[in-house]
Structure 1
Amino acid sequence: MIGHFKRSTRRLFALILSIPLVILAGGLLYMFLMTHLENSPRDFWTSVEWAAETLTTTGYGHDSHWTHPAMILFVIFFELVGMSFYVLIFPVFFLPYFEERFEQRLPGNLPEMSGRVLIHRYGPAVDSLVEELRRVGTAFVILEQDERQARRLRDRGYDVVFGSLDEQPGMLAGVETALALITNADDHADATFIMMARERGFSGTILALAEEPLHRPAMEKIGATAVFTPSHVLGAALAARASSRISPKVEGLQLLGERIGIADFRVQAGSPLAGQRLGTLRMRARYGVTVIGQWNGGRFAPAEGPDTRVEAGAILVATGAYANLARVERLATPLRRYGPIVVAGYGAVGRKVVEMLRDAGETIIVIDDVSDPAVDVVGNVLEHATLDRAEVRKARAVVLALSNDSAGVFATAVVRDYAPDVRLIARVNLAPNVARLYQAGADFALSVGQVAGQILAHHLLGEDAVSVEQRLKLARVGPGALVGGHPWQVGIREKTATAVVAVERGTDVLVEFDQAFKVRADDVLFVCGTTASLEKYMREFGATPAERPVAPTT
């Protein structure tokens, strides 16, 4: 029966039982020692009285003098036992007991779940989703088995149910009416939750966040609607930012072959580009390049017209003929396009980054503080000696895949100070810490919460709640309403945040246009922008996708 009580209550029972037992044992031992060591026998009740007075430190009556050394040592020992009871009794026994009695109890059963999302176990991976659910007004309940975490969540205003499914399987009663279920525990606990929910009769969507991709088929077999591995998706996104071989910055650029390229330029504070508007710089007219946009604080902002200001410290994205891009390199510090990629941290995310980069044929140098056959430099990334051995200053990019956000922020500051010109890409656990990474000097930072938040919000709410990584695309379209106009005419950027970067006329692809150039009805335009901005361009100018050229048959 006692086993059903809370821990603090069981402790209090143990205290109540232990005190009389200690007094009895002390009294019997005192009676024995007084007879055989002091030759002054005491009866049972006198001995018990002495033990009680000593244990409670209330003092002695007439029985307070001993001569035998062993007797004296015994009395001292028993006095210390009494003092230890006083030291432990309040913090260990009484305070936890009264805290549990007077603080608000956490609910142990699900509320009415109709129209609510149930989230099994809270963590960084569901942090962004929770905020998105609050933003759109979708009710949710968090099932948490860690009491401290549960109380913190309750203090933040979340609906929380506390308990362990292993000990209280009945706490899922009513889950069958829930809107959807999300499980974010370890893979074994996820599997248990999925099976118990299906056994209860839940027939809706169950989304699981797994640690190991190999477990996905098993989870789907036992009832999961879909299983995702956010840490691996995060690793893939970080690898894509480090290497253009994995994900070219402009999808479709290969349509122009070697005639046109794209380049990244970090605009230093002392660059003549910093702080200037595109209308003042006239990059197209002077240098024959088109500025597509700029990365600043990890967000891509398309160039929207002549009033767009080039920010100091931003990474400018420009396209044009290679010779023209080389001219612009003299105006801004170009990002290094050669050298190895250094990956610091070889955990789950770091392993995925390394795997993808090596599959893409990149040269990788791995740093970790634990020796591993795949680790090239064993050491602390915060130490310059480690950075020297990894040749960080010669690297094309550094990916910080550290598992601790505090360490990641400090490592970002250290690496940025050590190698000011290297591209720095950082992994984050909690989305709120992304801003700190940018402040410390990261060029791109992404959290597992952002990745998981986008995936889950897309499946639950049907929308892209969080943008994992902005993508640029090159669309091959008909001229539409631009027939008779200039490719760089005023209004295209302002209205759609896109840019015409090339015109295909017959067998020629033109990337520079004088003022007299006019778009013809049989021309094909190459328009660059984000997915959303390209859709806007197609609507605004009545453009339609152009047919791909047919390869000659032999």
Structure 2
Amino acid sequence: MAAQLKRSTKRLLALILSIPVVILAGGLIYMFGMTYLEHAPRDFLASVEWAAETLTTTGYGSDARWTHPLMIVFVIFFQLVGMSFYVLIFPVFFLPYFEERFEARLPGSLPEMAGRVLIHRYGPAVDSLVEELRRVGTAFVVLEQDERQARRLRDRGYDVVFGALDEQPGMLSGVEAAQALITNADDHADATFIMMARERGYTGPILALAEDPLHRPPMEKIGATAVFTPSHVLGAALAARASARISPKVEGLQLLGERVGIADFRVQASSPLARQRLGDLRMRAHHGVTVIGQWNGGRFASAEGPDTRIEAGAILVVAGALANLARVERMATPLRLHGPIVVAGYGAVGRKVVEMLHDAGETTIVIDVRADPEVDVVGNILEHATLEHARVRNASAVVLALSNDSAGVFATAVVRDYAPEVRLIARVNLAPNVARLYQAGADFALSVGQVAGQILAHHLLGESAITVEQRLKLARVAPGTMVGRHPWKAEVREKTASAVVAVERGTEVLVEFDPEFQVRADDVLFVCGTTTGLDKYMREFRATSAERPAAPAARS
């Protein structure tokens, strides 16, 4: 029975039992001391009365003078014991006891689960998914065995069931009616949850988030519909952001050939481009380049017209002839494209980042506080000596794969201050901390919750509900209703948030157009923008994809 008592109840019982024991022991010692040290004998009841008065700090009456040193030391010690009881009795024993008695009890069994999603254990990996479920109106229940976490979730308005499956297997009663199950505990607890759900007759989808990729096949064998490893997906996303060899910044860029390029420039606060309107800068007329948009705070904003303002600190995406791009470099700081990629943190995410970068042929410099055969620099990323040893200022990018969000935010600020021109990519656990990383200077930040949320939302809701990042694309299209119009005077940006960056005419690719230039029916246009922007362009100008000819002779 004692094993079933709550911890606060056990504490209170221990206090109640310990008080008479302490009073009895103190009274006996006092009676012995007064008899043999003070030579002023006290009977048993008087000694116990003295011990009770001292322990409760209520006073001693007339019995308050001692001369023997040992007796004085004992009295002082017993007074301190009494003060300790007085200080601890309320916050440690009584308050928790009464809080548990009067606090609303957490439910220990599932509610009606029809149409609901059951999430086993809450954590950063399911945080974004929970918000998405709330947004689309899908009901869910969280099964949590940490009482403090369960109460926090209840205070946030979530439906919570509290208990441990291995101690209360009956709490899964009714799970058969659930719309879907998601398990986010450690791999062993995930396996237990999956097996118990299947044993109860649940036949719907069970999605598991695993820590070790090697555990995916066993989990699928015991009943999981699909098993994902968000930390590894996160590592792959960070590596793709750090290396153009893994994921080019503009999909389809090879269509333009070698004469035309798209470049990234960081707009420093001192740059003449900073805080200027595109209509005032007239980049096309004065410099022969087209501003596609800018990355700022991890989000890409397409240049939508002359009123678009270039933000200080943003990364500007510009298209044009290589010679013209070189001239723009003088006004903004070009991002370094060559050099090693520094990876700070060699945990599960960092290992995946390094693995993918090596597979792509990139050179890496790995920093970690612990020695490892794959770690190049053992040290603290917050120390300048470590940054110098890792040659961070010469890197093409720095990936912060630290496991602690607070350390990641501070490391971002330190690295940005030390190397202001280097691309800085950071991982984070909790999605709300992404904004803090951008404030600290990160160019791109991604949380495990965003990655897991995107995966799970896709499988549960049938859509990519949470966008990790917007990817730029270059499309080769037929003119459509652009025939007879100037590529830069047809309000393409204003209507579609895309831009015509080049025109293929015969064997030439034109990127600069005089005022009288008009698109011909046999021209091919290169349009750059996000997927959404390109879709708008195709509808607005009735354009269709243009097939690339097999050889120039086919055009004659």
TM-score by length of 2: 0.89
Match of 1:438 in 2: 438
Offset at 1:67?
9.8
Matches within 5 A, 1:24-423: 84-423=84-423
Amino acid at match of 1:437: L
SS at match of 1:166: coil
Offset at 1:338?
1.7
Distance 1:173 1:546 in 2: 58
List per-residue Cα deviations over 1:30-58 (Å, max 9, x = no partner). 88999999999999878877766666566
Offset at 1:311?
2.1
Distance 1:26 1:537, change over 3 A: same
List per-residue Cα deviations over 1:461-510 (Å, max 9, x = no partner). 23333221211112222222233333334132222222222333444433
Distance 1:291 1:224 in 2: 48
List per-residue Cα deviations over 1:130-177 (Å, max 9, x = no partner). 222222222222222111122222222222222111221211222222
Distance 1:244 1:123 in 2: 32
List per-residue Cα deviations over 1:308-352 (Å, max 9, x = no partner). 222222111112222221122122111112222111222222222
Distance 1:494 1:39 in 2: 103
Offset at 1:288?
2.7
Offset at 1:127?
1.7
Distance 1:65 1:301 in 2: 83
Offset at 1:116?
1.9
SS at match of 1:17: helix
SS at match of 1:142: strand
SS at match of 2:312: coil
Distance 1:441 1:78, change over 3 A: closer
Distance 1:127 1:293 in 2: 30
SS at match of 1:336: coil
The answer to whether the 8 Å contact 1:264/1:317 transfers is: yes
Amino acid at match of 2:307: D
Q: Is there any run of 5+ residues in structure 1 with no aligned partner, and where?
A: none
List per-residue Cα deviations over 1:428-483 (Å, max 9, x = no partner). 22222222222222222222222222222222223333221211112222222233
Offset at 1:278?
2.6
Distance 1:508 1:171 in 2: 71
Distance 1:36 1:321, change over 3 A: same
Offset at 1:24?
5.9
Amino acid at match of 2:101: R
The answer to whether the 8 Å contact 1:237/1:469 transfers is: no
Match of 1:497 in 2: 497
Distance 1:50 1:359, change over 3 A: same
Distance 2:392 2:15 in 1: 60
Point out the more displaced range, 211-220 or 18-27. Answer: 18-27
Amino acid at match of 1:480: G
Distance 2:421 2:65 in 1: 82
SS at match of 2:446: strand
Offset at 1:264?
0.3
Distance 1:396 1:21, change over 3 A: same
Offset at 1:544?
2.2
Distance 1:35 1:274, change over 3 A: closer
Q: How many percent of aligned residue pairs carry the same amino acid?
A: 85
List per-residue Cα deviations over 1:62-85 (Å, max 9, x = no partner). 999999988887777666655554
Offset at 1:265?
0.7
Distance 1:439 1:29 in 2: 65
Distance 1:307 1:57, change over 3 A: closer
SS at match of 1:118: strand
Distance 1:223 1:519 in 2: 59
Amino acid at match of 2:342: V
Distance 1:332 1:46, change over 3 A: closer
Point out the more displaced range, 531-540 or 35-44. Answer: 35-44
Match of 2:535 in 1: 535
Amino acid at match of 2:266: R
Does residue 472 in structure 1 map to residue 488 in structure 2? no
Amino acid at match of 2:360: A
Match of 2:10 in 1: 10
Distance 1:19 1:396, change over 3 A: same
Point out the more displaced range, 77-86 or 169-178. Answer: 77-86
SS at match of 1:367: strand
Amino acid at match of 1:296: N
Point out the more displaced range, 517-526 or 185-194. Answer: 517-526
Amino acid at match of 1:349: V
Distance 1:204 1:38, change over 3 A: same
SS at match of 1:316: strand
Distance 2:494 2:79 in 1: 86
Distance 2:78 2:370 in 1: 50
Distance 1:18 1:263 in 2: 75
Offset at 1:6?
1.0
Distance 2:328 2:41 in 1: 105
Match of 2:547 in 1: 547
Distance 1:435 1:76, change over 3 A: closer
Distance 1:40 1:280 in 2: 102
Distance 2:35 2:101 in 1: 47
CA RMSD of aligned residues (A): 3.0
Amino acid at match of 1:514: D
Distance 1:200 1:286, change over 3 A: same
The answer to whether the 8 Å contact 1:263/1:319 transfers is: yes
Distance 1:48 1:390, change over 3 A: same
Distance 1:327 1:40, change over 3 A: closer
Amino acid at match of 2:367: I
Aligned residue pair count: 552
